[in-house]
Structure 1
Amino acid sequence: MASRVPLQLILNKIKNRSRGSVRCFGTVTEGITSPTASSRHLIGLEHDYSAHNYHPVPVVFSHGKGSAIWDPEGNKYLDFLAAYSAVNQGHCHPKIMKALIDQAQTLTLSSRAFYNDKFPVFAEYLTKLFGYDMVLPMNTGAEGVETALKLARKWGYEKKRIPKDQAIIVSCCGCFHGRTMGAISMSCDNDATRGFWPLLPGQLKVDFGDEAALKKVIIPPDGYLKAILGKALGGNPLASAVGIASLQVIQDEKLAERSAEMGEELRRLLAKTQQQFPEIVLEIRGKGLFNAVELISKSLFPATAYDLCIKLKERGILAKPTHNATIRLTPPLSISLDEIREGAKAFHDVLEHDLPKLVREKPKPASPKAQDTCDRCGRELYG
């Protein structure tokens, strides 16, 4: 792999810039940045012109294929996030790309004000595949959560005859379902909720695996999902065509079965690293290729999971932290066994070689940060 631009160089350049200095970092023609702009320039542009609502790992995706990603400088990485599992079939799968291009050249949007010739086919395919009666299309995961909240409340009032304004939504402490208002109202993520109170009322928090707490929940009878809800843009023909192709790839290439096999190998390799570093790795958990490594924050101090993800990036592996002490490892389901082993080795090497240096050299605050607790229920959070 080619040498990579040092992170500190990028951050120092951004820190020392003014808004008027954008043109110093790349080629700009008639106000539009050249598509050949450098990673440093593109990160700077986003810093200057996009709201700072996210904390990305500083790598720029230029193009991808399967489990591999390349940045504008030609450096290759293995993607162990897969866009939060949105590209489980791998980047730019040829069958999915063909469906996308073919449909984009025919019709892209109709709205739900009219019928189109793709969504009915997709709806039938999806419901038969998963064994449901009907589907309501949404554009994002958080939007799906919001709709599920509405659907549950509507069923509660109309079918269960819950008294007006008394419906309760049950969610688990430590969950995260998105950043919309209903989603954060279920969340114990202080970063997502602070500054947005009052949250939606009618919420009950329980611990994961707390059977006694769940006795408050009444299991709904068959048919409780029958409801009428509206959505203006869901079910567009472009998304429907791509959705059919995406599911066909999962079936044809047996990606679910492959995920189970590859996931077992990934967790086996990570468990060996945990045995070598029990004072650092608290838990390895996951199903299939949807996995997380929970670290012991006191052992990392003053480093964080984000710092380790930067070191993984320097070793050619792209992963994303969750809070201060958890790293997601959710590669495409199409990833190869050799790539799984490469990712697991990189994680081991970061703990063995990079973390000790981080702990020694990263500036330490006057005192360690106090254990974060949930603003809502007082539970300790995140390692």
Structure 2
Amino acid sequence: MLDDTLRTPDAVRDAQRWTAHNYHPLPVVISEAEGAWLTDVDGRRYLDFLAGYSALNFGHRHPRLIAAAHAQLDRLTLTSRAFVHDRFADFCRELAELCGKDLVLPMNTGAEAVETAVKVARKWGYRVKGVPAGQAEIVVAAGNFHGRTTTIVSFSTDSDARDDFGPYTPGFTVVPYGDLDALTAAVNENTVAVLIEPIQGEQGVVVPPVGYLPGVRQVCTERDVLLLADEIQSGLGRTGETFACDHEGVVPDMYLLGKALGGGIVPVSAVVADTDVLGVLQPGQHGSTFGGNPLACAVATEVVRLLATGEFQRRSAELGARLHAGLGDLVGRGLVAVRGRGLWAGLDLDPGLMTGRQACERLAERGVLAKDTHGATIRLAPPLVVTEAEIDQAVAQLAAVLSPA
């Protein structure tokens, strides 16, 4: 336990005093966690309905993941990719098999996976498709959130993420999300890839129209363009399938994975594709000191094995139906709309009632933690270990926030 003298107001003030203000967290200071529950420095417990933006799909301190980390800590933690370690092959093979692909390129963060995919797609375009040097283009969707590196914010349409960080990287064409005609028109002879989230998380858990993803897949196939699926938030069980693309039977050319792949213990990301795509890279052209390190591989291998049983995908689908049914009852009672799949929901509040931030602050007072986005929208993403009773409790607290006595 932390020192008894540490209390929430003091810890919040210290955080504000000594850190750059690139986040605006709720005034809660967490000291312990287990499963779907968090405990703050004052001993108060909260239901976690954010799950680290899907980084904690398996809950806090899942016993199998903690055991894997402990065992690896006693043996080997880092070698760099200058040498091969004994956890690397199993991780890459098992993740490739889960994805139905040939090769895995491990990295650390989601943004690194996206940057990796951009580089690979461009090199594939020059070496395989025959695009003239320096002319490769990638089509992306408005409302996207793929990270915050200088290249990635160059094609963001979020002013908070983009403004004042130029000059911007060229080579990207932005089209409306869900508009297949606009995407088709944007693809030309120099297009090497379409980079898309099958469900846009940061935008408010926006699900595209039925048929959109299969249409994008068809366009990419017909025009010799790679389909890059950013499943960093939507993948690994979150939506009730292993990948959000699975809901419409779409298989991308690259899976971009992260967040839940690290089991809530270490940052792990990966790009997964077939040899004809990832095989364009040669030694020295891309890498990472920590990417695919032994500790990361030990934890991520156990994550893959948890997913291989299908248990967590089923839980997400079944419990997600319960969550969405409960939230649907609140439409017209403070909620304007509910979107999402599985244990993932975006809620649009009546903007005349309160902001998303205010709703999250009031939920926190009632023992439920969630996160706002874009004004009057909040996101719910509980760990996949959540129970029916815990879902009902969170929905009841939201109902109380929306209709205070």
- TM-score band by shorter chain is 0.7 to 0.9
> Which structure would you say has the larger Rg?
1
After TM superposition, list the pairs within 5 Å mapping 1:56-67 onto structure 2: 56-67=25-36
Give 1:274's aligned residue.
Answer: 331
Is 2:272 aligned against 1:219? no
In 1, the alpha carbon distance for the partners of 2:58 and 2:23 equals: 25
Amino acid at match of 1:272: D
The corresponding residue for 2:359 is 308
Which deviates more, 155-164 or 102-111?
Answer: 155-164
Please report how far the alpha carbon of residue 73 of structure 1 lies from its aligned counterpart in structure 2 after TM superposition: 1.0
**Partners in 2 of 1:129 and 1:36 — Cα distance?**
47
Let me know the Cα RMSD of the aligned residues: 1.8
Contact 1:43 1:58 in 2 (8 A): yes
1:164 to 128, 133, 136: 133
Judged with a 3 Å threshold, the aligned counterparts in structure 2 of structure 1 residues 156 and 96 are, in CA distance, closer, same or farther, namely: same
SS of aligned partner of 1:137: strand
> Aligned residue for 2:176?
207
Letter in 1 for 2:220: I
Residue 256 (structure 1) aligns with: 313
Question: Partner of 1:283 in structure 2?
Answer: 337
Normalization by structure 2: what TM-score?
A: 0.75
Is 1:338 matched up with 2:392? no
**Superimposed CA distance per residue, residues 104-153 of structure 1 (whole angstroms, 9 cap, x where no aligned partner):** 11111111111111111111111112211101111111111111111111
Query: Which residue in the other structure is 1:99 paired with?
Result: 68
Distance (whole Å) between structure 2 residues aligned to residue 115 and residue 270 of structure 1? 49
Partner deviation per Cα, 1:31-56 (whole Å, 9 max, x = no partner): xx958622222111111111111111
The farther-off stretch of 212-221 and 127-136 is 212-221
Which is worse superposed, 103-112 or 160-169? Answer: 160-169
8 A Cα contact 1:36 1:72, kept in partner: no
Q: Contact conserved, 1:181 with 1:200, CA < 8 A, in 2?
A: yes
Alignment correspondent of 1:292: 346
- Paired with 1:207 and 1:283, the residues of 2 have a C-alpha distance of 20
Higher relative contact order (CA 8 A, sep 6+): 2
Q: For residue 113 of structure 1, what is the amino acid of its counterpart?
A: A
CA contact (8 A) 2:92 2:103 kept: yes
> Structure 1 length normalisation: TM-score?
0.79
CA contact (8 A) 2:56 2:383 kept: yes
Asked if the contact 2:127–2:280 (Cα under 8 Å) also holds between the matched residues in 1, the reply is: no
Q: What's 2:94 paired with?
A: 125
2:261: which partner in 1? none
Please report how far the alpha carbon of residue 227 of structure 1 lies from its aligned counterpart in structure 2 after TM superposition: 2.5
SS of equivalent to 1:171: strand
| Cα separation, 1, equivalents of 2:280 and 2:6 | 50
Of Structure 1 and Structure 2, which has the larger fraction of its residues in strand? 2
Letter in 1 for 2:173: L
Match of 2:243 in 1: none
Q: 1:366 corresponds to which residue?
A: none
SS state of the match for residue 174, structure 2?
A: strand
Q: Which residue of 2 aligns with 1:242?
A: 299
Using the alignment, how far apart are the partners of 1:260 and 1:53 within structure 2? 34
Change over 3 Å in CA distance of 1:46–1:225 after alignment to 2: same
Give the counterpart letter for 1:347 in structure 2: L
Corresponding letter in the other structure for 2:177: F
Runs of 4 or more, structure 1, over 6 Å off, are none
How many residues are paired up?
A: 316
Aligned-pair identity in percent equals 44
Residue-by-residue CA offset, 1:12-63 (whole Å, 9 max, x unaligned): xxxxxxxxxxxxxxxxxxxxx9586222221111111111111111111111
Cα pair distance change 1:295/1:166, threshold 3 Å:
farther
The 1:129–1:38 alpha-carbon spacing in structure 2 relative to 1, beyond 3 Å, is same
Counterpart amino acid of residue 233 in structure 1: F
Change (3 A) 1:174 1:103: same
Separation in 2 of the partners of 1:135 and 1:253? 21
Would you say 1:349 and 2:400 are equivalent positions? yes
One-letter code of the match for 1:283?
Answer: A
Which residue in the other structure is 1:16 paired with? Answer: none
Paired residue secondary structure (2:134): coil
Q: 1:35/1:176 Cα in 2 relative to 1: closer, same or farther (>3 Å)? A: farther
Q: Which residue of 2 aligns with 1:90?
A: 59
State how far apart, in whole Å, the 1-side matches of 2:323 and 2:13 are: 35
- Matched residue SS, 1:170: strand
Q: How far apart, in 2, do the equivalents of 1:95 and 1:256 lie?
A: 17
Whether the 8 Å CA contact 1:149–1:182 is kept in 2: the answer is no
Cα displacement (A) at 1:185:
1.6
Whether the 8 Å contact between 1:273 and 1:348 is mirrored in structure 2 is yes
Deviation at 1:251, TM superposition (A): 3.7
2: CA distance, partners of 1:285 / 1:341 = 18
How far apart are 1:183 and its partner, in Å? 1.8
Unaligned stretches of 5+ residues in structure 1: 1-32, 355-383
| 1:191 corresponding residue in structure 2 | 160
Distance in 2 of aligned mates of 1:263 and 1:328: 14
Matched, 1:141 2:110: yes
Q: What's the CA shift for 1:296?
A: 4.3
Q: 1:11-26 counterparts in 2 under 5 A?
A: none
How many angstroms does 1:164 deviate by?
2.1
CA displacement 1:299-344 (0-9 Å, x = unmatched): 24xx421111000000110001112121110010110001111111
Measured in 1, the distance between the counterparts of 2:292 and 2:10 equals 37
In the alignment, what sits opposite 1:21?
none
